[in-house]
Structure 1
Amino acid sequence: MAWGGEIIRRLTRAHRTGKTNRKKFDEAMGRHAEMVARLEELEVLRAQDEVVAATQRKELEAEMAAEKEARAAEKQALGAELERANARAERVKEDFLKSPEFDSLLAKKAWGYFKDGFWGCLAQFRSNGYSEEEHPASFLDLQQALEHLGDDEDAEEEEQEEGEVGDGTEVNTPNSPKP
C-alpha cells in the first residue's frame, strides 16, 4: 500500500497543480479577453478620431482655400484701386502743370532765383573792387536792365512785322545789348 499511497499523493499533488494551473490559465484568459476587448474599443476610438481628424482637415483646407481666394481677390481689388489712384494722381499732376497757378509758382521761383543770383553777382562785383563809377555796367542797374529788356522785345516785334511786310531780302541781325 505504500506504493498506492505514493501514487495517491503524487496524483493529489498533480491534481492540485493542475487546478492551480487551470485557475491561473482561466485568470490569464480573462485578462486576455479584457485586453482584447479594450484593444478593440481603442481601435474603434482611433478609427473615429481618424475620421474626425480627416473631416476637420478637409474643412480647414476648404477654409484656407476660400481665405486664399478672398485674399487674392482683395489683392487684385487693391491693385486696381492703386492703379486708378495713380492714374488720377497723374491726371491731377498734368492738370496742375498746365494750370496758371503752376505758371505763377514757377515764375515766382524763377524770379527768386534770378533776384538772388543778381544780387549775389552784384555783391561779388562790389567785393572784388569793381566800382560803378570806374566801370559802368548797365546790367548792374536792375531797373534800367528791365526797361532795356522791354525795349528790345518791342524792337524785335517791330522788325518781325517789317520783315513780314517787306520783300524778304532783309537779313535780321540779332540785337546785342546796348551799353
Structure 2
Amino acid sequence: MSSPDINLVSRLAESIDRSSPPKASHRGDEIPSSTEAHRARILRIDQDEARLAAQGCTWYEIKASTLTESDISYIKDKAGITSLYESLVWLGEAASRFSKAHEEVIKTKRSMDGVLGRHDALMKRLEEIQTKESVEKESLSTELESARAEVQTLRAQMQIMETQVQSLEARAKCSEEDSKLHLAKVEKLQEERANSWSLEKEKFLKSKEFDSLCSKRASIFFDKGFDGCLAQFRATGYSEDEHPAYFLNVEQALADMSDYEDIEGSMLGIDLYAYPLYMCND
C-alpha cells in the first residue's frame, strides 16, 4: 500500500496556517457557488477518495490528498467557525465588559444609595433644624412681644408715678406754704399773747382795783398780827432762813410771777384772801 506524498500534506498544512481567516464583514459580500460547481467539486472529491481508498490509504490521508488550494478556504470556514469564533470572542469581550459595567452599575447604585441615604439624613436633619429654629423664633417673638408689652406697661406706670410725684410735690409745696402761714400765725399769736399778758399785767398792776385788793389783803393778813403769821410758818415747818416771807411785799410777789405763763388766765380768779395759805402749801 502506497502512502501519499508527505510533502503534499506538509505544504497543505503550511498553506492552512499561512492563510488568514476571512473577515466576518466579508461573508455577507460573498456570492454563493452554483449548484453545478458544487456538485462537480463533490464528484471530483469522491472520485479521488475512491481512488485513494483503492490504493489502501487511510481516511486522513484520503482527506488530505483530495484537498486543493481552492478548497482550503471553503473547507476551513465551511461551518462558519471563524465567524463563530470571532462572535464568541466578541461575545466574551462584550460579556466581560457587560460584567464590568454591571459591577460598575452595582457600585454606582450602592454609592448612589449611600449618597441618597446621607442626603435623606441631611434633609431630615435640616428639617429638624428648621423646625427647631422656627419654634425658637416663635418663642423669641412671643418673648419679645411680652417684653414690649411690659415696657409699655412700665412706661404707663412711670407716667402715672411721675404725675403722682408732681401732684405730691405740689401738695408738699402747698403744705409747706400753709405750714409757714400757720407758723407765722402761731408766732403772731404768741407775740400777741405775750404782749397781751404784759399789757394786761401792767394794766392790772396800775389799776385801782389792784390797789384796793392789796389794801384789803394787807388788812386781812395783819388781822392776827405779825406773831400769828410767824406761828403759822413755824407750824407748817418752814424756817425763816430758807423761806423768807416775800409775800409781805405783795407788789414784788406779783412781779415775780410774770414768768409763769400757765397762770395767765387764773390771775384774776385767785382769792387773795387765801393767798398766805396758797403760798405756804405750794
TM-score where L is the length of structure 1: 0.60
Displacement after TM superposition at 1:88 (Å)? 2.2
Q: 1: CA distance between counterparts of 2:174 and 2:180?
A: 10
Largest Rg, 1 or 2: 2
Say what the alpha-carbon RMSD is for the aligned residues.
Answer: 2.3
1:32–1:118 CA distance, 2 compared to 1 (3 A): closer
What is the aligned partner in structure 1 of residue 46 from structure 2?
none
Gapped regions of structure 1 (runs ≥ 5) = 124-179
Q: 1: CA distance between counterparts of 2:197 and 2:116?
A: 116
What is the aligned partner in structure 2 of residue 64 from structure 1?
172
Displacement after TM superposition at 1:55 (Å)? 1.8
Question: Does 1 or 2 have the higher relative contact order (CA < 8 Å, sep 6+)?
Answer: 2
CA offset digits 1:78-103 (Å, max 9, x no partner): 22122223222222222211222211
CA offset digits 1:131-177 (Å, max 9, x no partner): xxxxxxxxxxxxxxxxxxxxxxxxxxxxxxxxxxxxxxxxxxxxxxx
Q: 1: CA distance between counterparts of 2:229 and 2:110?
A: 151
What is the aligned partner in structure 2 of residue 49 from structure 1?
157
**Matched pairs, number:** 123
Displacement after TM superposition at 1:68 (Å)? 0.8
Gapped regions of structure 2 (runs ≥ 5) = 1-108, 232-282
1:18 aligns with 2:136: no
What is the aligned partner in structure 2 of residue 107 from structure 1?
215
**Structure 1 outlier segments of 4+, above 6 Å:** none
What is the aligned partner in structure 1 of residue 114 from structure 2?
6
SS in 1 for 2:143: helix
Of residues 73, 77, 85, the one that matches 2:185 is 77
1:19–1:91 CA distance, 2 compared to 1 (3 A): same
**Which amino acid is the alignment partner of residue 43 of structure 1?**
V
CA offset digits 1:100-121 (Å, max 9, x no partner): 2211221233334434453438
What is the aligned partner in structure 2 of residue 91 from structure 1?
199
Identify the structure with the greater helix proportion. Answer: 1
TM-score where L is the length of structure 2: 0.40
Of residues 137, 159, 168, the one that matches 1:29 is 137
SS in 1 for 2:222: helix
Query: Percent sequence identity over matched residues?
Result: 24
